[in-house]
Structure 1
Amino acid sequence: MSEDDDLAELRKQTEQGDRIDEAATEQEKQALVEDILAELEAIDAGEQQKTVSVWDGHLAAFVRALEENPDRMEDVGHALQQRLGLDESEPDRSDVLRLALRLGFQEAAPDQFEAVREAARKQATKGL
């Protein structure tokens, strides 16, 4: 076999593996979407809380310092809104934390975070 034949064979094997991997990844994503949808339904039914808590002294100090300086809080909130492509509004503490978490998850795990969007779409159209 020539070098070109070897490369062609390797490409063919890789392409098949990619399709198999893509199918497995899609199945995993759909399982995550279903898990998120179940949690959203539990929240709507009052079985789960909407709140998320973190235990982090540095972040708590940062957020309190932002609260003491509303202009800084607004700057941080607007920066987060811009990064997420959202219309600017006057952000409060909850908005800043929510947007920071969303941006972090979107940046660090975009494929998994897309499952949140898909679950939200399914939930919104469920009764139609």
Structure 2
Amino acid sequence: MAIEVQKLDGGGILLRGRGTVSARQLLDVKEVLFGSDEVTRAITYLLVDFEDVAEVEAGEDEVRAIAERDRRAGVVNPGMIIAVVALKDLHYGLSRMWEIMLESAPMETQVFRSRPEAEAWIVSKLGATGA
């Protein structure tokens, strides 16, 4: 699979893409990740890392489906934060489209060009919430 899932400290989850990642793969991972309300509530943050992704196979409809899945997770866990790392312009653009679709969602999202920036944002948000 082109997406690896790793548990991180503090209730975090890392989704790391490699090679070619399709919207279907990302949706499948999120369906498992957000499979129950109990599990969803336990997630403090998601770090979605596309640094090692060569190609993303997704159009507007697929990005909308991913955003809708994340929105439903945010309703269950409004304190969850999601940081996306996207180096390539196309990946960044698709991620920003996703972020805009989630502007009215109950959780916070942010797209970054580097993992250190994303990690610093996560730390600042966790510190602000006392998590």
TM-score band w.r.t. shorter chain: under 0.3
- In proportion to residue count, which structure has more strand? 2
Say which one has the larger Rg: 1
Q: Which structure has the higher relative contact order (CA within 8 Å, separation 6+)?
A: 1
